[in-house]
Amino acid sequence: MSTLSREECIELGVSIPNAPLIDWAEGQLAAARAREARLEHRGIHAPYLKEIQTLVKTITAAQAGLARTSAVPPAEVVDAQRIREEAFAYWQEAKQIVKVEFGSNPDMLVKFRLGVRTGRLIANLTRELDCIVSLLGAHSEQLGWLGVTDTFRKVGEVLIGRLKEAQSKLDSACKALPPAVAELCFLKGRLYDLTRKLVRVGQLEFLREPEQAAAFNYSVLRRELRAGSEVRLKSVKSAVR
Amino acid sequence: MSQLSREECIELGLSVPTGPLIGWATEQLAVAKGREARLERRGVTAPFLNEIKMLIGMVAELRSTLVKEKATLPVELAKVQRIREEAYAYWQEAKQIVKVEFGTSPEVQFRSRLGVRTGRLLANLIREMECLVAVLREHSTQLSWLGADEAFVNAGGELIGKLKEAQAKQDEASKSLSPALAEQCVEKGKLYDLTRKLVRIGQLEYLHEPEQAAAFNYTLLRKELRAGSEVRAKTIKAVVR
């Protein structure tokens, strides 16, 4: 069902710590089970939910079988995640600036590719950041009052360079993973992808019932990832001011 | 500061009831006043806030005059708003369907123009609906498991037709407004547009401080508008299933 390649699944898998991923997937599975009849209208049947459950079990077992040292991600992976988070925060800020200035100009919103989601894949983020930073440059006069200074754009360019470097190191690190760890990451990537789809389908089915829709979310997963990100975001923010 | 034409301001003004608009703008002004030092970094200075304050006064004054003169809006306009809300609900659902199926395909997301905001202008909504319904049609086989079957796509086509009809009726009605009503609508449209910009700037400045960012919102305005929309959205859903 996933349209992601094995390499992309591995990249997703290395980007997420095990415990929050498992907790999140189990929480979403429980939310879905309580609403199975409605979700069936949108193609979420028992085999879909069973696949998530099987992945949760397989990952838990695989993790237990790996030596403690194998559970620690390589330094390149940790660095790549840090850079990805910084770049993602910058991209969010740049997109919000565009929304403010061109909020009533649909063609500009399309040009800046505001509707694209990068997920956690560095290649996607690099492409979108490349696009938005070059457009910020082209429209810098109009956007200056919102904080798009030369420094802000340069920070964007630096981040693109760092992302490219991080991607290359991450690719090498992923290729060098022991087969069992690579397999675990692959399964984690699939679990992330399937659970994400479940969240989106839940939000779709309950689009007009916000209290129900709220049960489908990323809260558990993001809680652990957020703390570190916020510190880094503030550093980026203060650096460009 | 607004990039909207006089006609667009009139259309915006017609689409928003005066009481909730004044309440919302007053609330957002109060929120901004407690955070002036931070907002100044994003170009929201005293003249920006004064303009909102002045518009609130002007809209309230015009409302009193119109009440005394017993001036009322043409009845066709209520029907136009109902159709806009139905179409908007459909568009949201269609966008979420595309996000589910093409969540890992940035180019389809880009082509579907998922990042565009239509605001409350019919012309914007018509264009985005046309684009999205075409994407649904093109990928109907792939999307049917999510509920985007032939009936759903056809419902979209019908809504586009209704929107175009509504737009023509609205244009006629706008032209026949008394000068005082037209003036009030222009001021309301300007107030809506400026307050919306303030909300977006607040969300930008506090992007990484969610509790602060949450103070900048549309809650008060939407509370009154929502009830009717939900009923209509459910009706559409029932029809296309």
Q: For B3-62, write each residue's pLDDT tens digit.
A: 899 999 999 999 999 999 999 999 999 999 989 999 999 999 999 999 999 999 999 999
Pick from A8, A92, A201: CB nearest B207: A92
Determine, for residues A116 and B106 on separate chains, whether the beta-carbon distance falls below 8 Å: yes
- By residue count, chain B amounts to 241
At B239, the pLDDT band (50, 70, 90 cuts) reads very low
Determine, for residues B97 and A204 on separate chains, whether the beta-carbon distance falls below 8 Å: yes
Q: Which residue has the tokens 């009845």?
A: B75
Tell me how far apart the alpha carbons of residues B189 and B15 are, in angstroms, rounded to a whole number: 9
At B70, the pLDDT band (50, 70, 90 cuts) reads confident
Question: DSSP for B228-239?
Answer: HHHHHHHHHHHH
The whole-model pTM stands at 0.88
Pick from B100, B200, B208: CB nearest A230: B208
Tell me how far apart the alpha carbons of residues A40 and A32 are, in angstroms, rounded to a whole number: 10
Tell me how far apart the alpha carbons of residues A195 and A27 are, in angstroms, rounded to a whole number: 10
When pLDDT is averaged across residues B123-129 and rounded to a whole number, the result is: 97
B4 touches A: beta carbon within 8 Å: yes
Q: Which ipTM value was assigned to this complex?
A: 0.88
Contacts of A3 in chain B (CB under 8 A): 104-105
Tell me how far apart the alpha carbons of residues B235 and A159 are, in angstroms, rounded to a whole number: 48
Tell me how far apart the alpha carbons of residues A179 and A69 are, in angstroms, rounded to a whole number: 15
Beta strand segments in chain B, E: none
Residue A96 scores a pLDDT above 90 = yes
What's the DSSP call for residue A4? Answer: -
Contact A189, A10 (CB under 8 A): yes
Residue A207's CB is within 10 A of a number of other CB atoms, namely 18
Q: How much is the pLDDT for B13? A: 95
d(CA B64, nearest CA chain A) in Å = 30
At B229, the pLDDT band (50, 70, 90 cuts) reads low
- Hey, which residues 159-218 in chain B have their CB within 8 Å of chain A? 193, 196-197, 200-201, 203-204, 207-208
When pLDDT is averaged across residues A16-30 and rounded to a whole number, the result is: 95
At A232, the pLDDT band (50, 70, 90 cuts) reads very low
Residues 6+ apart with CB under 8 A from B97: A204, B136, B143, B146, B147, B148
Contact B63, B18 (CB under 8 A): yes
Q: A234 versus B214: which is more confidently predicted?
A: B214
Write b or e for each residue in A16-51: b if 16 or more Cβ atoms lie within 10 A of its Cβ, otherwise e.
bebebbbebbbbbbebbeebeeebeebbbeeebbee
A195's tokens: 């659970």
